[in-house]
Amino acid sequence: MKTPGYINRNGQQLLRATDERGTDHNARIWILKCRNCLNIYGSNSTDAFERKCPKCQSGKPGLPVPIERDGQDWTHEEHLIAFQLYSRIPFGTIHMRNPLLIELAALLGRKIGSASRKLANFSRLDPVHQARGVLGQEPKDTTEWLTRFDGQRLILPKKFAPSSEFLEKHAAKCRAKAC
Ligand SMILES: [Zn+2]
C-alpha cells in the first residue's frame, strides 16, 4: 500500500487512496495527479504504479474521481483546509478550472463546484471585501474573523489566519477592481 505523495515512474503522484471500487479485480480507486500538467484523475490501485497521464502521456482514460463526501456538512477541519487555500490564491482565480481548487476537491472527496463555492463564500465574510477600498485595513482580531461562518463557530488559529501582507495585496487588488 503506497501512501499519499508516492510518485510512480511516470511522474504520477498519489493524492489519495479511496475505498471506492475500481474496475479491476479487487482494485480500489486511487486519485493520481500528473506532475507535468497537474491533471487529476482516478486510477485502479492495481495499475497505479505504471499509470501514464491520460492528458499529456497518452495514458488510458482516467476513472471518475470519487466524491464520497458530497452532500455532507463541512467539518471544522475541512473549513480550515479550504481557508488555507483561500488565503493563498487571488480572489479572481476562484473558479472551477483552477488546478488548486480541483486538487482541494479531490483531496476532500467533494465536487469541484462545492469546493469553489466554499472559497467564494469565504469572501463574503472577508473583512477586506466588506471594507472595499480601504487599503491595509486589517480585522481587529484575525483569529476570529470567520467565527460565524456557515452558522458554525469557526475559530482560526493564528497560523491559518491571513498574513497582513496577504491582506494588503488583497485590498490593493480589490481597489483596482482586479478581483
Ligand atoms: Zn499530464
Under DSSP, is residue 25 helix (H, G, I), strand (E, B) or coil? coil
* Res. 83 pLDDT band, cuts 50 70 90: confident
Report the separation in Å between the CA atom of 135 and the middle of ligand 1, taken as the mean of its atom positions.
40
| CB 82 within 8 Å of CB 68 | no
Report the separation in Å between the CA atom of 164 and the middle of ligand 1, taken as the mean of its atom positions.
36
Calpha distance 14→44 (Å, rounded) = 11
Residues near ligand 1 ion, CB 5 Å cutoff: 34, 36-37, 39, 53, 55-56
* Res. 128 pLDDT band, cuts 50 70 90: low
Report the separation in Å between the CA atom of 131 and the middle of ligand 1, taken as the mean of its atom positions.
41
In the predicted structure, residue 21 carries a pLDDT above the cut 90: yes
Report the separation in Å between the CA atom of 115 and the middle of ligand 1, taken as the mean of its atom positions.
22
- pLDDT tens, 50-81? 999 999 999 999 999 999 999 998 887 788 78
Calpha distance 72→69 (Å, rounded) = 6
Nearest to 62 by CA among 38, 40, 36: 40
Report the C-alpha dihedral over residues 156, 157, 161, 163, rounded to 10 degrees: 170
pTM value is 0.74
In the predicted structure, residue 19 carries a pLDDT above the cut 60: yes
Report the separation in Å between the CA atom of 10 and the middle of ligand 1, taken as the mean of its atom positions.
10
Write the CA distances from 156 to 73, 164, 170, 171, integer angstroms. 18, 15, 19, 20
Higher-pLDDT residue of 157, 76: 76
Report the separation in Å between the CA atom of 40 and the middle of ligand 1, taken as the mean of its atom positions.
8
> Per-residue pLDDT averaged across 104-117, rounded?
94
Under DSSP, is residue 43 helix (H, G, I), strand (E, B) or coil? strand
Report the separation in Å between the CA atom of 30 and the middle of ligand 1, taken as the mean of its atom positions.
16
In the predicted structure, residue 129 carries a pLDDT above the cut 60: yes
Report the separation in Å between the CA atom of 151 and the middle of ligand 1, taken as the mean of its atom positions.
40
Beta bridge partners of 14: 32
Q: Which range among 15-19, 51-55, 101-105, 161-165 shows the weakest confidence by mean pLDDT? A: 161-165
Q: Which range among 76-90, 116-130, 152-166 shows the weakest confidence by mean pLDDT? A: 152-166
Report the separation in Å between the CA atom of 36 and the middle of ligand 1, taken as the mean of its atom positions.
5
Report the separation in Å between the CA atom of 152 and the middle of ligand 1, taken as the mean of its atom positions.
39
